[in-house]
Amino acid sequence: MNTAKRLTAVIFSALVMLSNIIPAFAEGELEVKDLTKAELVETAPGTAIDNSIISSKTYKSALYNNPISSEVFCADPTAVEYNGRLYVYGTNDHQQCREKGEDKDNTYEKIKSLVVFSTDDMVNWVYHGEINVGEIAPWIMNSWAPTITSRVEEDGLTHFYLYFSNNGTGTGVITSTDPLGPWEDPLGKALVQYDTEGLTDCPNPFDPGVVIDDNGVGWLSFGAGKAKDGTDYMPGSARIVKLGKDMISFDSDFTEIPAPYLFEASELNYINGTYVYTYNCDWSDHTEKWDYDCPAPSMCSMVYMTTKTPLDPESWEMKGECFQNPGLSGLEYSNNHTHMHKYKGKWYMFYHTLLLKKSMKINGGYRSLGVDEINVDEEKVTIEPTGGTKEGVSAADGLDPYTAHLGAELCSTAEITYDCTDMNTPLAVSDGAGSWTNVKNVVFSDSDTEQDELRFIAEVKGSGRIEVRLGAADGELLTSLDFDSPDSFTDVFSKGVSSVSGTKDLYFVYSDKDIAMKLWQFDRAKAEEQEEGESLSESSSKTDDTKGRNTNTAAIAAGALAVAALAVGTAVSLKKKRSHK
């Protein structure tokens, strides 16, 4: 092969390598554009929104961060991190509520879908919509209590495995290469059910919990009900099994986890080389019989056990209660199901309560997700017992206003509906005049001066006005946009935004029904830079970006440089070899 052909082969290889680098960083990120580079229309003068029409119909206090959604009923949480963002899934109580009504008892039988949220700061959440499991896997009875894990596989893609309860009869699994789908049903049937070969004395093989250990081995726990020889004290139906390499088959026998007072809600974690099994104990008084060197758990609380050898029933060590029933935390009593997750260096406990239902003053027992920080000693593998709160968590990160954010990324709302046709860019749509959304912990630069020109830019649809207010829906007006685009989205900006610095909560107030703000961001540029002809988008690109997207862009650039260097170096080497012949 001559030098030219070799160089062509090297360049082709470099291009292939680069094409593999870019998707690895871009895949899974929320699809948002840089609004500063869009074709912008300046807002026209409009009529201010009268404070008297601003809605007070909100179901989440500005003082609290729980529940995570002020609109959507959801329960039995699980979570997975992807590209720095945390995706949370749960049982879709909202489907049951829609089909049966707000004042009907929540009996779960209508639920054949799962709900998806995501966050990168733990206080502002994007509701992405529903995973319609009933369409993906038409054989199911229901889809409850999911558990999810992921791993990078030989094709270079991250694969997600989402297990769910098929009513109380078994456990199913769907898979994807993106946390938002599309999802596939790889088996066309349940992964496990009560008559699965090798499984005995497990009447209800549901409420799965999955984990992948440091060796890359997957494990699945599940089980409820009373085994043939079980007792109230030791029901005998908790099971664990090693998953096959494909994560949808089994590579061991089913073995028992000796879980006293087992009720439901299995979960697995892997901490410091130790397997942690969490489950929900029943409603009885556990002090009457308790054979362990730790306090007996309170009724319907979450209990945990640990082991280094999960397939040895005798190796499991009882650790006691880790999360009490919401009713013992000053909230309403309900069933209990948790997910423990480490994110951005902190441990969190996700759970469900009846907070949203109570705030709405409805009778149906529809549940809503909450989250609180917990203390986990990773060295000793112990969890400090705690319970749920209304206050919830503090922000894990500040929200950068100088990069584009989804209008559906929010902490609280009043009279908002959702359009999740595109799960990557869902819409929060105003349901009437005075509707609003709220984002917390927005960090404006303290270095802005009078020499800065600050603009607010948004991609909007509808006819009317959006006002940006500080601290409350009727708070100080920061800026506003007026537009008339009922049939399509348009990019509008306002300049001369009032001076703002420090950490603020923002409220977006809508003047009319059917207004949607797909994206928003602030943009700043030095006056002297404008005089020199630098565009606002060029100036905006100099803003420090604390978000993962720019980090990913830098990584892509670094990858490109590395590939280029490889190509050049190889070309030089080939040339030298050629000259010595």
Burial readout 490-512 (b: 16 or more C-beta within 10 A, e: otherwise): bbbbbeebeebeeebbbbbbbbb
* CB-side neighbour CA atoms (13 Å) of 76: 31
More confident residue, 11 or 492: 492
CB 164 within 8 A of CB 111: no
357-409 pLDDT, tens per residue?
999 999 999 999 999 999 999 999 999 999 999 999 999 999 999 999 999 99
Q: What is the pLDDT of residue 80?
A: 98
Average pLDDT, the chain: 88
CA-nearest of 342, 338, 308, 341 to 323 is 338
Distances (CA, A) of 340 to 149, 267, 523: 13, 9, 38
Q: What is the pLDDT of residue 28?
A: 43
Q: What is the pLDDT of residue 39?
A: 84
Q: Which of 38-52, 297-311, 388-402 has the lowest mean pLDDT?
A: 38-52
Which pLDDT band, with edges at 50, 70 and 90, does 6 fall under? very low
> What average pLDDT score do residues 281-302 get?
97
494-549 pLDDT, tens per residue?
987 888 999 999 999 999 999 999 999 999 754 434 333 333 233 333 333 333 33
Q: What is the pLDDT of residue 525?
A: 59
CB 464 within 8 A of CB 517: no
230-249 pLDDT, tens per residue?
999 999 999 999 999 999 99
Model confidence, pTM? 0.87
CA-nearest of 388, 346, 384 to 367 is 388
Which pLDDT band, with edges at 50, 70 and 90, does 450 fall under? low
Q: What is the pLDDT of residue 528?
A: 39
> What average pLDDT score do residues 54-68 get?
96
* CB-side neighbour CA atoms (13 Å) of 62: 19
Q: What is the pLDDT of residue 35?
A: 84
120-133 pLDDT, tens per residue?
999 999 999 999 99
Which pLDDT band, with edges at 50, 70 and 90, does 447 fall under? low
Whether residue 179 is preceded by a cis peptide bond, meaning omega within 30 degrees of 0, is: no
Owner of token pair 């997207």: 549
Q: What is the pLDDT of residue 30?
A: 67
What percent of the chain is modeled with pLDDT above 90? 80
